Amino acid sequence: MRIIRVGPRHGGPRLVVQGPGAAHVIHEFDDVMACAIQQSEIERQLVAKRYKLHKFSDRRTADRRQTPALPTSPTTTSPTVPTAPTAS
């Protein structure tokens, strides 16, 4: 099973539940707290049924830490491109 909390970028927050099997359900909420509470309840029910929860990673946060900072102003130089030697 997979539970994904989707932020309120386009409309209200959503909770996407995939599984078991091919099952797929999307819960929509008015606020982020209600979404988090429902996620917690679903996880509690799964643990009660002997499912095990795995660690997760916030890929968005991890990607931001690994991405180098962009320059604040555009550079006027262009990268050097190696050229083939000329015959003399």
Confidence of residue 66 (pLDDT cuts 50, 70, 90): low
Residue 82's alpha-carbon distances to 73, 78, 79, 85, in angstroms, are 26, 12, 10, 9
Quote the CA–CA distance of 84 and 5 in Å, as a whole number: 53
pLDDT band at residue 20, thresholds of 50, 70 and 90?
Answer: confident
Residue found by looking up tokens 């083939």 in the block: 84
Helix (H) or strand (E) holding 15: strand 14-18
- Quote the pLDDT of residue 86: 52
